[in-house]
Chains A and B, each alone.
Chain A
Amino acid sequence: MATKKYWKGLEELNNSPEFVQKAQNEFAEQIPVEKFLGNENQESNGTNRRDFLKFLGFSVTAASLAACETPVNKAIPYVVKPEEITPGVANWYASTYYDGSDYASIIVKTREGRPIKIEGNDFSKVTMGGTNARVQASVLSLYDSSRLTGPTVNGAPATWANVDKEIGGKLAAIAAKGGAIRILSSSIISPSTKGVIAEFAAKYPTTKHVTYDTVSYSGISKANAQTFGQEVVPSYNFAKADVIVSIAADFLANWVSPIEFSKQYAKTRKVSKDHAKMSKHYQFESNLSLTGANADERVPVKVSEQGKVAVNLYNAVAKIVGGNSLPSSALACDAEIAKAAKALAESKGKSIVVSGSNDINVQLVVNGINQMLDNYGKTIDIENPTYTHQGDDAAFAELVAEMAAGKVDAIITYNTNPVYTAPASLKFADAYNKVGLRISFADRADETASLANYICPDSHYLESWNDFNPKKAHYSLAQPTIAPLFAQPRHEGTRQAQQTLLNWAGNTSDYLAYIQKTWMEKVFPMQGKYMMFTEFWNNSLHNGAIEVGKGEGEVLATPVLDSAAVAAPLAAAAVKPVKEAPKAEEVKPAAVVNLNDVASKINAVKGGALELALYEKVGIGNGNQANNPWLQELPDPISKITWDNYITMAPAQMAKEGYLMMERQDREASLATVTVNGTTIKLPVVPQPGQAEGTIGIAVGYGREKAGSLSAKTGVIGQNAYPFVQVVDGTMMYAALNVSVANANETTEIAGTQIHHTLMGREIVKETNLENYKKNPKSGNHDEMLVTHSGVKKASTIDLWDSFDRPGHSWGMTIDLNSCIGCGSCVVSCTAENNVAVVGKAEVIKTREMHWLRIDRYYSSDMNKEVAKEEGVGAIDMYLEMENPAAANPKVVFQPIMCQHCNHAPCENVCPVLATNHSSDGLNMMTYNRCVGTRYCANNCPFKVRRFNWFNYNGNTDFAFNPTQDDLGRMVLNPDVVVRSRGVMEKCSMCVQRIQEGKLEAKKSEAPLKDGAIKTACQQSCPTNAIYFGDLNDENSEIAKLRKEEAEGRNYFILEEIGIKPTVSYLTKVRNCETTIEEGRKTSGHTEAKEEKEHA
């Protein structure tokens, strides 16, 4: 470890004097005295001592007088209390999140009828209790005051009765004259919704339904149509894969079903002494993605080379397993490809190759590789497809052409926003305006809806009934967890889109009854567990998600009910796909696909000097929740930048082209203009180690002008990169191969949390590789030794103070760095659970973000002394190489850091008012009402996890974007946690409100506390189960066992050597890579550096 250098950012690596000076300060910025005083005139006049005393005297008197008045608080009980509600007790309801791309089976916590928190549903066999940041944040989107409160006609409020009447009349007229009616939606996985659309199409026979996904995977389904004759996206099982090769598929963050894949992936990354085995993950990509950051071997390749990587990988695998090779061209990374191919071939049937490309040809080659490796039916299941992405790019393009030609008379858009998301080349907005009748179901007047004649706002998913079929044989239900927020008599109200369509179709059924009918007819017969439908329905609703049929065979035995009914549009007869492609061509058997031609086409792709790869961020995703301040403030896991999108560029290239290198990321960045096919946007340039040279990356989902009120309060956030999407051979390509970037010679400020609260180069992350781990489970995790008068001793054995008595519980947390993928789900979950304030871009720039939990991202390079020796690199070159991120493709380690609840906490000693002290169950408690805001504790915290409320974020109008400043947004607050005010320090409490609740439940039930009964918010939301929490005093608890097992293994405490005895421990990261990492320092004879710590 001594030679392996970790750095949090380039600025730390370069170690400029300015950085060092700033990093020394706990609070990087000057204290804004003038802002507190508020009145600038007052300051210029100068407040003399007498005035000060007068003010003081007056305010003390005024405060005392004000306090004397008895506050009159009203208590207003229900008139008729709903049976299931007990005020003060949370109710949980199973439901489902699906926004057209992410699917998650969830449980919703409601208090007094308000949903306040979303957690994963363990009953689901698809998402297995996982959530991601977007799912976690979606509860805030419910309380979005930008939502429409009723239908509008050309922007003016209208009544549903009128809207229904007018639209009904117009649709009937269009249908009568044979005019085309189109429904354009994102993927629909609801069998009932498909039924509703079929009913609508039956009433208006000229209706066609086109599915358009914002980020489409139609390349995969089209390729499968050619290879297998099934136009589907298969289901993948990364849990069964020993070797994973991903060509730019960011499957842990965005690709197809990231929550499901994260759960599966994490299962292959859990190692222990008895199970020293983990998957090997290769990643070939241009941008440094979250998935790439977690890979064992990551190879930067240009966008234009990604297809060629697939072809060369095919050839390399074919060479080993025996097969025809395809025409190929040499690549710089052929050596790595060969290694990956070897690993794949050795794990035939237990490997997986995926590609993030939406190019049918690339996917055909990938299919070929997986076929050669015999992965179908094992890690990839084409027979049990995933339905979450059914978008058909070609059909969409055709629809736009039809619209532009004026051939469409009416268009209904549902859960899609193509004016914002469609590629510039399609000119969707112009085409849209040519349609006579434009109806939108959007919940707000977004980019598309604001151009529509009628907006018939859909209810939020937490207010709605719905059903879902994310995967073959897997079903789930969504139930309302709150009555519609916007309803009669105060508002005209929102109405579920399905209900609206049913009304227009002349079906008087209520949508819930319709779902029940669908389930009775279609889903109920597929299962064999329940005899009565009511019983089946109630159980399904209670559990949220069900799997029908016992296994593959049985599901296959009922194809008529399942695949025919759902995979293909439910009423295929009525709703024909616009593109009526000859079926025969699609249902080609595998042998017919000529991979030679395909490879030639791929090889013919010409790269440009600079190529652009678009990507989705973990927080904002495709941008449909862009109005959600929690997501905007969530730092990107890689760049750690909030509130913006930007151009990521290799640092070497930036230096070459004269951009500001951002010595401090939170200061100035150069602006550059990016032009693709005549579309230009201006964005800041950010250095991104690991970015393939000759490529840049830009996140989509930003630059939304009509997402809602957030942009009015903060200005439009970022720039829209969707126009850069290209349509190539009938599919969308989320990249551009010929990009010109010009320095705009302007600068802007960027809000990165990158180097805030840096740990000054101390040894914080510990890492080893699998080889070494097998030999020695403690490798990479050497003991910290201290020199004492009685010889060198383990730091953990020396204690200056008495330890605390722990008669009852002793809470502990352990975080497995090997499982943590850095996705940020825990950060949003913590924000929601603990009422953490949103501070906005300007404050983040001043290092004042309030997140109680942050995920530190460390870069490290492969170069170390041994590699240098092997490769014969000289000492000077070696050190240069070690610290040269441009040349290196850095390895990334994620480390969640929250309050470590030190048993000898440095913060506790320095508090002059005893606002922070220790509990008998091991928590470092923070008492807000006692805190006077000296900030000594934050200054003394070695982990920099304490957060100070510089402002009243809940009342100060400078922070109007804070959810707590809005009557609706306030409803999301957790009533069990105090909303902190200005001048108070706060930090992670280890979800003490949950601990108290769990303990009380156990006391009430007169039983010992069960292990796992209490879960912290971060632990519950973690899609990879990286966080363990429990009672260390309970010998049988999972965490106590883990600590015992890993005591002489991977378990370590950060900064153990300074004697603070943290409660939170970490497990060493194990990387399955070939590069040897130096063994931990030998325990003897390496004391010189430690001596000074002895004095500390």
Chain B
Amino acid sequence: MDTMCNKPRKQILAIISFLFLSFIFSANNVSAADGAKIFKQNCAVCHSLGTNKLTGPGLAGIATRAPGDEWLKKWIKNNDALRKSGDAYAIKVYNDNNQVPMSAFEFLSDEELTALVEYIKAPPAPEEKKKDGAPAADGDAAPAEQGMNPLALLIGIVAFLIIIIAVLRGVRFSLKNLQNEKQGLPLEEQVGPWTELKTWMGANKTKTGLVILFIVGGLASSGWYALKGIGVYEGYHPVQPIAYSHKIHAGDNAIDCQYCHSGVEKSKTAGIPTVNVCMNCHKGISEGPTTGKTEIAKIYEAAGWDPDKGAYTKPEKPIKWVKVHNLPDFVFFSHQQHVKVGKQDCANCHGDLKTMTTAQQVQPLTMAWCIDCHNKTEVPTMKDNPYYESLHKKLAEKYKGEPITVSKMGGIECAKCHY
């Protein structure tokens, strides 16, 4: 027994220690891949890896131009200190770039700096991108085509069954007559399927009634639900003029929702980012991982930015996005009310955009859906917000320990949303 038990234990220990070691190893060994990430997060806004100048100079050939890796690390970490130490090359770089100081990156560890420098010195060659246009738009349509339409499937199955039944009936009839012929019995007359059904129905009235009831009930209820679905666009994900991916921005790059939707705590609308917000990053990032330069070029077109000259030279052309979440005009929904006061997470209504390529309406956005949530949700800030002090006291008295939901505060009254 002992040996039997010891063996797996050792194995477990070995696995744990391996995982631990590999964790330490991975933590210590910041690879060039991490260098890419660090670069993207911190540097790409102002520096390109090519020769073109953004806010700062292009970094191609930095290995040969700069005095050395250690110098580079010092410069990145705190260029101001380096300049003040009287480093001649540092001062030269500063003067060459119109004396626009670079930010300090004191928070980068030595390992990270090493990885970053390695990455900058030898960036991976840009991959050849597929040239076919608007892949995101195609991608949108694709899933719908791949998945079988359930209705068609159902009709197919029913039709198949009917054919099978018809064939089997014929087969049965032929076999029966064949048998009858063999046994010398009189041949049965071919009875039409309809007559046979009627005979069967006459004999089994209860079953027939149940079937009819089932069919009528089914039709009525499906009709009812179909009517209720009018005007509900759950799952709506229109093709946008730019194949923008929430997954890449909010998911992979973990950009906070409010960086772009900055009105969410200030206004009733969260706001669609204006092109100048896109340009904050995309001045430097002219190429994306899935669509290459084509989609980002559309931002440049809208902003009037000439990436070659690095200047806004052309006329501005606003981007006409397609609105995904549409509420009727007679509904007043306030984002600040829900996000700032009610502390709701964006995902509660908008779904997990970090995994969505194109924004999609994941909730029905019907009044029933609103009320359902208001009936269940407590206001998290109610206890601490002095605004609610007296109201909270009175409601706590009234409902004695019951959760004080939004509805109990009057949150489902008509004029809270309709005026």
Contact = CB atoms under 8 A, between A and B. Distances in A.
B416 interface: yes
Contacts of B340: 1004
A68 interface: yes
Interface in B258-274: 262-263, 266-269, 271-274
Interface in A931-980: 976-979
Given A77-B321, A80-B274, A70 B236 contact: yes
Contacts of A923: 415
Contacts of A920: 409-410, 413
A81 B302 CA distance: 13
Interface stretch (A82-90, A585-593, A824-832): A82-90
Interface in A912-941: 917, 919-921, 923, 925-930
Most-contacted residue by chain B among A79, A989, A999 (CB, 10 A): A79
B291 to A, nearest CB: 21
Contacts of B236: 70
Contacts of A929: 328, 330, 418
A807 B323 contact: no
Contacts of B387: 999, 1002-1003, 1005-1009
Contacts of A989: 415, 419
Contact of B341 (A86, A979, A1003): A1003
B229 to A, nearest CB: 9
B414 A925 contact: yes
A928 B329 CA distance: 11
A86 B334 contact: no
A755 to B, nearest CB: 31
A70 B319 CA distance: 21
Chain A interface helix/strand/loop/mixed: loop
A73 B341 contact: no
Contacts of A930: 414, 418
A75 B323 contact: yes
B230 A64 contact: yes
Contacts of B262: 86
Nearest to B410: A920
A74 interface: yes
A764 to B, nearest CB: 27
B350 interface: no
B415 A925 contact: yes
A229 B336 CA distance: 62
B389 A72 contact: no
B317 interface: yes
Contacts of A71: 326
Nearest to B316: A79
A808 B341 contact: no
Contacts of A79: 274-276, 302-304, 316-319
A979 B415 CA distance: 15
A79 to B, nearest CB: 4
B182 interface: no
B385 interface: yes
Interface in A803-821: 805, 807-808
A919 B275 contact: no
Contact of A808 (B263, B322, B381, B409): B409
A165 to B, nearest CB: 29
A76 B318 contact: yes
A929 to B, nearest CB: 4
Interface string B373-387: 000000001001111
Interface string A57-70: 00000001001101
B391 A807 contact: yes
Nearest to B321: A75
Nearest to B328: A929
Interface string B244-288: 000000000000000000110011110111111100000000000
B227 interface: yes
Contacts of A1000: 334, 336-337, 341
A996 B271 CA distance: 20
B238 interface: yes
Contacts of A74: 320-323
Interface string A183-205: 00000000000000000000000
Nearest to A73: B323
Interface in B401-419: 409-410, 413-416, 418-419
B231 A67 contact: yes
B394 interface: yes
B65 interface: no
A596 B388 CA distance: 73
Contact of A807 (B263, B329, B395): B395
Contacts of B71: none
A887 interface: no
A77 B275 contact: yes
Interface string B328-356: 11101010110011000000000000000
Given A808-B409, A925-B414, A1008-B389, A77 B319 contact: yes
A1083 interface: no
A1009 B323 CA distance: 35
Interface string B151-185: 00000000000000000000000000000000000
Contacts of A978: 329-330, 418-419
A992 B415 contact: yes
A15 interface: no
A805 B326 CA distance: 35
Contacts of A1007: 386-387
A73 B322 contact: yes
Nearest to A923: B415
Contacts of B326: 71, 73
Contacts of B389: 1008
A987 to B, nearest CB: 11
B398 interface: yes
A926 B330 CA distance: 12
Contacts of A1009: 387
B268 A88 contact: yes
A1083 to B, nearest CB: 35
B105 interface: no
Interface string B282-303: 0000000000000000000011
A808 B414 contact: no
Contacts of B320: 74-76
A36 interface: no
Contact of B276 (A75, A80, A89): A80
B263 A87 contact: yes
Contacts of A75: 272, 320-323
A86 B263 contact: yes
Most-contacted residue by chain B among A80, A999, A1006 (CB, 10 A): A80
B75 interface: no
B267 A86 contact: yes
A1005 B266 CA distance: 11
B271 A86 contact: yes
Given A989-B415, A1007-B387, A919 B323 contact: no
A89 B334 CA distance: 11
A999 B385 CA distance: 13
A80 B231 contact: no
A16 interface: no
A76 B410 contact: no
B94 interface: no
A80 B299 CA distance: 12
A52 interface: no
A993 interface: yes
B230 A976 contact: no
A413 B117 CA distance: 73
A67 B230 contact: yes
A378 B231 CA distance: 69
Contacts of B381: 1003, 1006
User: What 3 pairs across the A-B complex have the smallest Cβ distances?
Assistant: A88-B267, A925-B415, A920-B410
9 contacts: A75-B323, A79-B318, A80-B274, A88-B271, A89-B263, A925-B414, A978-B419, A1003-B337, A1003-B381
Given A80-B316, A929-B328, A1002-B387, 8 more contacts: A74-B323, A76-B321, A77-B321, A80-B275, A86-B266, A919-B416, A927-B414, A1004-B336
